[in-house]
Amino acid sequence: MSSIEIMPLDQLISEEMAVKRTSVSRRQFLKATVPAGALASAPLIIPGSALGKNGALPASERIVLGGIGIGSRGGLVLSSFMSQPEIQFVAICDIRAERRDAIKTKADEKYGNKDCAKYSNIHEILARPDIDAVLIATGDRWHTTASILAARAGKDIYCEKPCSMTIAESLALADTVRRFGCVYQAGTQRRNVANFTYVIGLVHGGTLGKLQTVHANTQDPKVTHNWLPAQPEPPKDVVDWDAWLGPCPWRPFHSDYVRGRWRGYFDFHGGGILEWGSHTVDLCQWANKADNSAPVEYEPQGKDVICLYANGVKLVMREGGWQKDLGTCCVRFEGDSGWIETGDFARMNLSDNLKDKHKTFTERGTTPDGHVRDFLNCVKSRATPRSNADATSQSHIACHAAYIAWQLGRKLKYDPVKNEFVGDAEANRMRSRAIREPWRV
């Protein structure tokens, strides 16, 4: 099915053992040795800040963070990270010089020094043993590859969505995170935004009665297979075009791509179902307690796709029909005892019999703060974040399967255990895409 390359078992075991040693060594070593060994080893002089004096966290409690591909959304998430007391941001990796410079300036101004390192090669930043975790905010095409490389390097991962471009990548991502034992949080932050968590709590608590239908706000699935006309490539140290493409097929350079206008092109983008569905389908999966599975039927209807879970709950992925006062990325949940819907503006609508359940919230759905906090708590405790790789993999598989059904224009049946379409060879071939060397992982 997949063009994801599987390494030999002996090599995998060797790498896994090395990663486990690396990922544990820095923070656990400091926690175990700084209070006892450092204080006992006079005349060694240690700064008070390293021991947690004057309000600073001791080195053993800090989380050293690196950034990979930080643009506008990534910059907002990075600001949230840098506002947390235990975070020390030390390095940026980006294929664009202007972004490397901008993030270095941001970090150096924050810490009052010139210490933030700049890299253009992902392998160099991941090779740093002092980095505990990475924020990955590249374009969609890079998310799975960068995450798998980071997991193999022993890093914990916060990765912006969508986290995969295909069903095959979704499965490879979840398998790698599970195998290497890292903490992974997808940037589907609405799992930690108050109005969404409140509404899903009502569903899980039985307020709506038996759940019947869940609705996910998606966008027009259409993308183009055309290319933009070739432009002269800039110098590699300004924009590394080959690295920008990464796992994607080679295409001629055009400045629009690197300025963020790559959405809508098939090679770089998963279409409108994945664009918003990675958030909203994810919430529907959570509401239906289906984080370990995906719908078994997908039927395209215009720009929408109607899906069915094995438990009989219907999932409607639709672009239109949403109340404007809800904002973007809306969801609606219907049970046999009432319905409720909400969106990014933190407002909610309810059936008349549930008006007493109405609550007022102010936090917008795009806010990453609670999601970042969940990730950092799990980095320290080694617990599982809300948007972990297994749940993310399944919600993305649902989006990919729906997009395949829409492209083919016919109803498809899917086996979420075997992760294959039932009796449809053409659909099964679309579960993966070719990955350009040397980026097969």
Q: Both ends of the chain: CA-CA distance in Å?
A: 15
Tokens 């920008």 -> residue: 244
Q: What is the mean pLDDT of residues 115-141?
A: 98
Encoded amino acid at 183, one letter? V
What domains does the chain contain, in order, with CATH numbers?
A: 9-187 (3.40.50.720), 190-222+269-429 (3.30.360.10)
- Kindly indicate the confidence band of residue 21, based on its pLDDT and cuts at 50, 70 and 90: very low
Residue 162: the pLDDT is: 97
Residue 62: the pLDDT is: 95
Q: Is the pTM of this model over 0.85?
A: yes
Residue 7: the pLDDT is: 41
DSSP bridge pairs for 334: 213, 339
Find all residues with CB under 8 Å of 168, minimum gap 6, and list them. Answer: 1, 2, 3, 4, 431, 432, 433
- Classify residue 214 as exposed, middle or buried by CB count within 10 Å of its CB (0-12, 13-18, 19+): buried
Residue 58: the pLDDT is: 76
Question: Greater confidence, 120 or 10?
Answer: 120
Residue 335: the pLDDT is: 98
Residue 11: the pLDDT is: 43
Residue 50: the pLDDT is: 53
- Kindly indicate the confidence band of residue 8, based on its pLDDT and cuts at 50, 70 and 90: very low
- Kindly indicate the confidence band of residue 53, based on its pLDDT and cuts at 50, 70 and 90: low
Answer yes or no: is pLDDT of 175 > 90. yes
Residue 267: φ, ψ to 5°: -60, -25
Answer yes or no: is pLDDT of 79 > 90. yes
Answer yes or no: is pLDDT of 173 > 80. yes
CB 106 within 8 A of CB 78: yes
Digit-coded pLDDT (tens) for 308-361? 999 999 999 999 999 999 999 999 999 999 999 999 999 999 999 999 999 999
Digit-coded pLDDT (tens) for 194-232? 999 999 999 999 999 999 999 999 999 999 999 999 999
Answer yes or no: is pLDDT of 13 > 90. no
CB atoms within 10 A of CB 401: 28
Answer yes or no: is pLDDT of 14 > 80. no
CA distance 64 to 191: 25
**How far is C-alpha 2 from the chain's CA centre?**
21
Answer yes or no: is pLDDT of 182 > 50. yes
Q: Hey, what are 344's tokens?
A: 């990014």
Q: What is the mean pLDDT of residues 68-83?
A: 97
Cis link prior to 368 (omega < 30° from 0)?
no
- Kindly indicate the confidence band of residue 60, based on its pLDDT and cuts at 50, 70 and 90: confident
- Mean pLDDT (the chain) is 91
- Taking alpha carbons only, the member of 374, 437, 394 closest to residue 293 is 394
CA distance 280 to 301: 18
Question: Greater confidence, 36 or 219?
Answer: 219
For residues 163, 328, 78, 93, the Cα torsion angle rounded to the nearest 10 degrees is 40
Question: What sign has the CA pseudo-torsion 174, 176, 181, 183?
Answer: negative
CB 401 within 8 A of CB 167: yes
Answer yes or no: is pLDDT of 412 > 60. yes
Residue 322: the pLDDT is: 97
Number of H helices, E strands in the chain: 14, 15
Ranges 37-41, 45-49, 168-172, 213-217: which has the least confidence: 37-41
Find all residues with CB under 8 Å of 109, minimum gap 6, and list them. Answer: none
CA distance 184 to 170: 13
- Kindly indicate the confidence band of residue 51, based on its pLDDT and cuts at 50, 70 and 90: low
CA distance 387 to 370: 12
Distances, alpha carbon 73 to alpha carbons 60, 159, 187, in Å: 30, 11, 10
Q: Hey, what are 51's tokens?
A: 């021991």
- Taking alpha carbons only, the member of 342, 381, 285, 375 closest to residue 81 is 375
Helix axes of 143-152 and 9-33: crossing angle, nearest 10 degrees: 70
Question: What sign has the CA pseudo-torsion 419, 422, 425, 431?
Answer: negative
Answer yes or no: is pLDDT of 235 > 50. yes
DSSP assigned state of 166: S
Collapsing DSSP states into helix, strand and coil, what is residue 290? Answer: coil
